[in-house]
Structures are given as C-alpha cells and as structure tokens.
Structure 1
Amino acid sequence: MEPVSATPQTPVVVPELLDALRADLTTAGYTVEHVAELLGPVASGALDRGESLPALRATAPGAPAGGDPAAVLTRAFVLGAPVRADALAGALPTLGVEGARRLGLVDAAGHGSADEVRATVDLRPYAATDGTGEAAWWVASDLGELATGAALRTDHVLGVGGASVTLAQATVRDPRRRVLDLGTGCGVQALHASRHAQHVVATDLSARALAFARFTTALAGLGPDRVELRAGSMLEPVAGDTFDLVVSNPPFVITPRRADVPAYDYRDGGRSGDDLVRDLVTGVGAVLAPGGVAQMLANWEVRDGEEWHERIGAWVDASGLDAWVVQRDEQDPAQYAETWIRDGGTTPADRDAWTSRYGAWLDDLASRDVAAVGFGVVTLRRPVDGPPTLRRLESVTGSVRQPLGPVIAAGLAAHDLVTGLSDTALADLRLVHAPDVTEERYLQPGASDPRVVLLRQGGGFGRTVQAGTALAAFVGACDGELTAGQIIGALGALLDVPASDVAADVLPTVRGLLADGLLTPA
C-alpha cells in the first residue's frame, strides 16, 4: 500500500464540549479494563496482533456486548467501523453526535438516527503504571492502518505505542518544577509529566501533532498553565530556557534519505543516519538546569569492527554530562529494514515497493559500514558542580520489571552516595539487602559447601551477581544491626584471615551492590 496523500482533520478544543465528552466517556466506562472485558481475551489478543475481525464481531450491534456504550465507542474510535447515529448518541448522550462533529471527532452521512457516523480520529482509553503509580487518560491520535485499511500518511500522528510506554515507565518521577517533553507527538509524555511537574513545555515540529496533543491534554483537564505547547524543531523552541527534566521519544529511526522511501513525521528526523540522536545527546545539556535529568529513547549505529557502546559512548563523553545508557535490543541491517518497512505499512505482498525499500535500507546502512543498530534508553544528568562522575553503558536485553523509573532514580542517588564514600565511611554504614534479593546455592551431591552462590535481584533490571564465600556471608549478615566494618571484622575472625583482606575482597563489590540496589543503607 502506498501512503495516502490526503490529510484528514485534527480535533479542536471547545471547552464546554470537552467537558461533555469527558463526562460521557466516564459514564460509559470507556476504560482499558472495561473494553478488554467487553472484547474478551480472544478478540483482545487478536487486536494486539493487529487483527480486528474478532473485535468487530464482539462489538457488532447484534453481539451480546454490542449495545454497551463502551463497545459502540470502541467500534467507532478504535476499530474505525461505521456506527449508527442513534447508537453513538446513546454512547455520548451529553455531547451528542453534533457535538462530536464540532470537536472534529466524527463525520456523519446525514442527520437521521439511522445514518452512519464514522470516526475521523482514534480516541481510546490509556492506562499505565509509572513511577508515581497508576494513571488513566483518553488519548487522541490519527486512525491507524487497522481502522483505515490504508498505509500511513507521512504526516500521521501516532497514538500510544510500545516506545512511548517504554519511555513513560523508564522516566524518573520525583517532583520537578519544569519539564520539557521534546517531540511530544499526541502528548503521552506530557500527560505523565503533568503528575509530578509544576509546569510542562511540550514541543513538536508537526502542527498536526500539536493539535492532537492540545486536544489530549485539554481532555485530561490540563490547560496552558500546566502544559504549554510550542512549535519547532529539536531544542529551537526552548533556546535559553532550562528544565529540571527533559523527556524525549524523538524521531530516531535511521531512514534512507531517498525520494522513493517515504519519511514519516513521527519517526524520521530528516537527518542522515543517527545524526539526530547524536545532536540531541550532545546538545540537550544546554537546556538542563544543574542536577537536571534528560531521558530519551535512541537508535545508534554500530559500525563494522566497533563495539556497540563506542559510538554512543563518544556522544555522551562530548555531552559533558553524567550518562547511563542501557541497550535493550540490537538488530542487524536486514532485521532493522524489515521492522521499519513494515511499520510504514509496506508488506512483502507489495513486492515491488518492498524490494525497492528493502534494498534502499540495506544500501544506506552499508554506505556507512553499519553492522548493527542498537536501541535503548539514554539517561543524562547535568552535574550540580564539577565534572561528570557517572559513565555507565550496559546491555540489558532480558526481561525487566516495570516501571524502571524508580530504579533509575535510585541508581543515580546510589551512584552519588558511593562516589562520595571512602572505604572508611563505607565501613561505618549499616546496610540491608533489598527485599527482592534472593540467594541461590549450587552444590554437588553430598557436598557441604556450595560451588556457586548467586545473588538475584527480583525487580528492576533483574541483575545476578556471583558471590564468593565472604561476600555471600557479608550480604546475609546485612540486616541493619551491624556496620559493614563490624561484619567484616566478624568474617575475618570466622575465616581466620585478617579483616583487611576481607575488606579488600568484599568492599569493591559492595559498592557495586549499592549502586545496583541489591544493598541499601539502613
């Protein structure tokens, strides 16, 4: 399928009509939980895989749940199917069909109760858990391929996707005065930021994206005094400003710069290779207040003969900021090409377009000797004073326990603690092992001493540390009663070795366990 050139309307903000819409959506029980209940597990699962037929059957007028107001809203605004005007009026009794039309949400074939009404936007419930707890809103965006049956337009405004949820869950959520949502899209990150920030500035180059963000935030009851929208590219709209937190799900996709390869506003930044991400990483410090944190999703090229962390590592070094980079995935050029060609709506069934675009991606990546493309979360922080002290680049490709935001916040705080501690001060601390830490011992049959002892973290990044006899005993004794130095002294006596030898063996790893959250100060 080729991208559709016609640009549909965007929703508009009419305060009194938004109040009516909000009341109707609430009364209808238009929530993630209730919609999943109406659809059932089979239809919900199929919808998650991009198949709408079971959901269409579950929400059909004659189906058991078909008359439920939330089913009517799901059929119209998620599935993109036509619904009768009287059915939509029943689901939105305060707003009415005419009110929905005035908000730019629907087009009506006529004025009769049996006339068909079609949604012009995607409006769906969204629920998530971030570092401040559970949250629920309604989010407006363009209708997707599943609803329209056509490939995405290049100015498509994406709704809530996996990347935006990943960023929302990874963001630190302690109270902040000013937050910047750079590249806001439909406004998802701004919604999350509004829960722990006094003021949010949300920017985007796309006027259509800002229209959706304005509608979504207004529907959530957030006016310009809470969420301010600014148009412009990258950091240009906020030049001269400073923020305590910057979040960004930028257009990081590495797309061939060729006329026959469509570039989508929501994912393609118009730069060659990974230049946009490089510029953001190296430049975001200009708008960070001292102690301010920037978190973003990113793609970076891994050139032939290089390790994955070399390129992104050079960028964070140039930034002058504390840096913690977690690579979550890595794809070879063919996998990367297939992912983003499909994302734009082209499938192998469209043989000519598929082959042309596949070749363009492979040629583009090969022109820069790209062996792989990494994906991950980048956390940067402006030191309050002095040079940066944190440079951590790690690959964590296994499952993690969400939300990660509190884990990252705790990791930053633990780094500061450990960096400022001498061994003497560390020995004076009373420590406890985190409640999610378990110990595994592996013994040969008949043996009394384990060959391997593993300390496992049940939450966060799920880290595993192999521990020697002394370290395992040290961690086991960390219940907050004794100082680290007292435990080390007791272990020295038990093992019949000098306490200084035990300290030299244990304390460097204890610093790492503190930084990773397996141990915490009592």
Structure 2
Amino acid sequence: MVAVTSSVPVTDPTLLDALRSDLRSADYTLDGVRSLLGPVAADALDREEALPARVVTASALASGADGRATLLRLFQLGEDVTRAALDAVLPTLRTAGAERLGLVATQGADDGDAVRAVVDLSPYAAVDAAGEVDWWIASDLGEVARRGALPENFVLGVGGASRTLAQITVREPRGSVLDVGTGCGIQALHASRHAGAVVATDIDARALAYARFNAALAGVRLDLREGSMLEPVLGETFDLVVSNPPFVITPRGEAGVGEFTYRDGGAVGDDVVRSLVTSVGSVLAPGGVAQLLGNWEHRRGEDWAERVGGWLTESGLDGWVVQREVQDPAQYAELWLRDGGITPDRDRARFEGAYAAWLADLDRRGVEGIGFGLVTLRRPALAGAAVSPWRRVEEITGTVAQPLGATIARVLDAVDLVRDLTSEALLGRRWQVAGDVTDERYFTPGEASPRVMLLRAGGGFARTVRTETGLAAFVGACDGELTGVQIVAALGTLLEVDAAALAAELEPQLRGLITDGLLLPAP
C-alpha cells in the first residue's frame, strides 16, 4: 500500500491543460459519475457511505476498462489503482504527470505497481446566474478515503455549507468581490463569473494552495492573500463579500476535540461570526452586500433574535438573519465530532472525552441550543443619508426554493423601494400580485365566510401570510390597472369603513408584502 502524505497540488499550466483534457475525455463529471453509480450508490456516497460505490466500481472494472470507475476509486474512494490503469484513463497527462502535479503517489515504475491518490479530486456541477458550470475541485482526502479521523490542517472540498452559500449569493454583476476564508476556493470561482475582480483570503497557506490549483484548473484568475479574516484587505472596499467562515463553536484547549482549521476560528463561542458581522462594513462599498453563514448560541434567559439582532445594530448596516435550523448541545457535539472523523467505533475514549468537553463548554455559557443560518448585510448606497437601517431577524425552517440568490436580491431592491416611498406614494402606485402567489381560503362547513385566508408564495422562501378581509380584498384587486388609492376607496365603500382608516391599517401590511415579493410594482 502506498503511504498517503499531507501535501498540496502543484499549479503547472501545461500539466493542468493535459489533466483537464483527460478528465473531460473520461467523462469524469458529476453526471458521468452518477450515471456510472446509479442513484442508490451515488446518494449513499453523498452521505459518505462508500460501500455501494466500491461495489459498483469494482463490478464496472471487472467488466472492462472504465475511466470513470478508475478515477472515482482513486480520488474519492481511497483505493489503489495500477499505473497502467491510470495511464490509460489519463493518456495525455499519464501517471508521471499526475505525480508531478502532486495528485498521486506511486509505489514503482512498472505497469502493475500501485498508485494512490494524495488529494481528493472530485467533479463539481452547479447552475448560477451565468449558466451551468462543470469544474473539478481538489481538496484533502476526506474521511471516506482516509478511513480515519481527519488531520487538524484538513482542507475541505465542497460541502453542504459551501453549496448553500453558493445558492444564496446574489449574482448581479459586481466590480469587485471578496471571499473571506476561501478554503478550496469554490465561492471565489463562482464569483469570478459575475465580477470584474475577485480577492480571496485565508489564514491557511495550504488552503490557498488548493484554491490556486482549482482556479488554474478552471481557467480562472484570482487574487489570493494569506491572513486572518479581513486583515489582508484593510483599507479596501468591495461590492460583494461572501464568507463561509470557520463558524463552528468549539471547546478551547481541550485535548482530543480537534481544532480543525477549516471550521474553527479560534474564538470562544460564536465570537467569530459576531466579529465578522460587526466588522464587515469596513470593507463594503456603498451599495455593497455581504453574505455569510454562521452559528449562534441560544443562551439561557436570552432571546436569540435580540442577541443576534444586536450584532446587526452594531454593524450599522441593513441586516437580515434567517435561522434555518436549531440543534441542542448534544446534537451539535455529535455532528461536529463525526464531521471530523472522531467516532466511538474508531476511538471510544477520545470520542467520549471530546463529547463531554463540548457539553461542558456550552453549559458554562448557558447554551441551550445552537442556531444555523444565513446573514445578509448591506451598506446603503446613499452614504450619510438620514436613512434608518432595515433589520430583520427571523426563523424559516421549512423547504425553500433554491437557488435563493435572486430572491434575496429582489428583497434588497424592494427594501430600497419601500423605504423611499411615502404613504401617499405607496398608495398612489399600481401594484400586481407576483405570479407564484396563491390565495388559499379555509371554510368551516356550513359557514359562508372563510375562517382562514392565506397568501402563499410558491418560490423563494415560500412565505405564507395570513390575511384579514381588507388586505385579502386589496391584494385581490391588484391587477396592475388600479392605483392603491382607487382600490382603498372602492373597498371603503364596499366594506362600509372609513377609507383613510383602512389605508392606515393596510399600509404596513402592504410594505411587508412588497418587501417579501408577493406584491410587485406594475410595469
């Protein structure tokens, strides 16, 4: 068996051209791999259950040469392949070129000698505002390939959090983008498709080496800078900042816990996220948007929304927090221990010691739960204007319609629109109902009037708004032809209420519907 080292890949343009060509020819793409594996084995591998994929690929190779099976076993499943097999699937680069790139280690020079991957090289596919992407992303070998715990300097590939951030990022054209804590570089690669320039920072030099390799393999130019969080860009401003920061809340200084560079920012509790939220405004240009993921503590006797909302207040920016999930301390400890490959079946003593340390650390701060979610911040375009920042802290745990980037961009535009409209201007305009909105009414048998009336958005965050008679009737009349004033006047007569009082009652509700995208300005 070939020993696995802890190296990083080498960026050699000529060899990367050969690698790119060979990977395409082998159909080592996300669709190609899923086609080979089938849905059962592919879904299992997504859950880091490798046995079905090992069975399928072994069967495929027994039936004849299959480049996809060879590459999948080598780079993702941690299986040795022969030099002859790798030469066949990489006919331009060959095993010697892969070794010079730092992708593999070899046991010898004969055709039958073993070759083992030194890094993970996985296909990646996504759809963003610029269309479809098919890349290959290099990172450190994962738990499946290692069959053991991860090293603390582990460089993560594209995980679930990375995909979430890529899907929620606004993709409007931007002059400059900053990716804080870039890791393998996936957010910076996406940003390069809609930005004039992309700067990516990371405290870990190994992570930057992977990001450099991945950018070169994708044919993308990035400005990569080593340093902690915002330090490498102090004094500069950007139109968009994205960050999947090392937000995991980890016990400090506890043996066996594993302080992994890719997820642990070295701070106590949720201070990494709090610090980024409150300081990112220093590098945001007017109109600039910052989007990040994070964890925050739910502490005994404190309202989590007030606590996190205080971070938004301190930032001085428009701010929007969406909590997507809450875990209790035990669930949280179990998640991140297993994420690092620290499991009871491998080392029960280490697992139980680290588990106890995690619970004790959270208990010291009175933590009853840990929230995970999305944070969007924006510096208003009119610097110095007497405008109150827009703030929203909410919990949305149901199914959403990804990607959410366009939805978030529309909300920010609607915030500006509503903020600039006086009461008279709001009702003086014509509005229309968004195309994905349905009106749902629930009746008690035998009653003529509905007991519950709901407006439900089919896209984005799939919001549901409960309405009363006046609001439901107003929205129902928003066909883009009548102004709000005309609708309110008609409803006042129909419902036999004072039109001015009805307008005052409806105004804040209408602002909410416009902000959430259920009502749109008529063209």
Give the TM-score normalised by structure 2: 0.95
Match of 1:369 among 353, 366, 369: 366
Query: Within the alignment, does 1:326 sit opposite 2:325 as a pair?
Result: no
Deviations 1:219-251 (A, max 9, x none): 00013xxx1100011111111111111101111
Q: Which residue of 1 aligns with 2:10?
A: 12
Match of 1:75 among 70, 73, 76: 73
Deviation at 1:71, TM superposition (A): 2.0
Task: Tell me if structure 2 keeps the 8 A contact 1:321–1:388.
Answer: no
* Secondary structure of residue in 2 paired with 1:60: helix
Matches within 5 A, 1:123-522: 123-223=121-221, 227-260=222-255, 261-349=257-345, 350-384=347-381, 385=383, 386=385, 387-522=387-522
Q: Which runs of 5+ in 1 are unaligned?
A: none
Match of 1:35 among 21, 33, 36: 33
Alignment partners' CA distance in 2, 1:10 and 1:194: 23
* Secondary structure of residue in 1 paired with 2:155: coil
* Number of corresponding residues: 515
Instruction: Kindly provide the amino acid, as one letter, of the partner of residue 476 in structure 2.
Output: G
Instruction: Kindly provide the amino acid, as one letter, of the partner of residue 194 in structure 1.
Output: S
* Secondary structure of residue in 1 paired with 2:58: coil
Deviations 1:394-426 (A, max 9, x none): 111111110111111111110111111111101
Task: Tell me if structure 1 keeps the 8 A contact 2:167–2:402.
Answer: yes
Match of 1:24 among 14, 22, 25: 22
Name the CA shift for 1:441/1:499 in 2 (closer, same or farther; >3 Å).
same
**Aligned-residue RMSD, C-alpha:** 1.6
Task: Tell me if structure 2 keeps the 8 A contact 1:77–1:123.
Answer: yes
Instruction: Kindly provide the amino acid, as one letter, of the partner of residue 191 in structure 1.
Output: L
Name the CA shift for 1:481/1:274 in 2 (closer, same or farther; >3 Å).
same
Deviation at 1:162, TM superposition (A): 0.5
Deviations 1:242-301 (A, max 9, x none): 111110111111111124022000000111111222211111111111111111111111
Name the CA shift for 1:382/1:388 in 2 (closer, same or farther; >3 Å).
farther
Percent identical pairs in the alignment equals: 61
* Secondary structure of residue in 2 paired with 1:59: helix
Q: Which residue of 2 aligns with 1:51?
A: 49
User: Structure 1 residues 62-71 or 469-478, which shifts more?
Assistant: 62-71
Deviation at 1:61, TM superposition (A): 6.0
User: Structure 1 residues 88-97 or 150-159, which shifts more?
Assistant: 88-97
Give the TM-score normalised by structure 1: 0.95
Instruction: Kindly provide the amino acid, as one letter, of the partner of residue 272 in structure 2.
Output: L
Deviation at 1:6, TM superposition (A): 8.4
Deviation at 1:66, TM superposition (A): 6.0
Deviation at 1:378, TM superposition (A): 0.9
User: Structure 1 residues 82-91 or 354-363, which shifts more?
Assistant: 82-91
Alignment partners' CA distance in 2, 1:65 and 1:417: 62
Instruction: Kindly provide the amino acid, as one letter, of the partner of residue 457 in structure 1.
Output: A
Alignment partners' CA distance in 2, 1:486 and 1:25: 63
* Secondary structure of residue in 1 paired with 2:393: strand
Task: Tell me if structure 1 keeps the 8 A contact 2:4–2:118.
Answer: no
Match of 1:60 among 47, 58, 61: 58
User: Structure 1 residues 58-67 or 505-514, which shifts more?
Assistant: 58-67
Deviation at 1:24, TM superposition (A): 1.3
* Secondary structure of residue in 2 paired with 1:80: coil
Alignment partners' CA distance in 1, 2:135 and 2:324: 28
Deviation at 1:30, TM superposition (A): 1.6
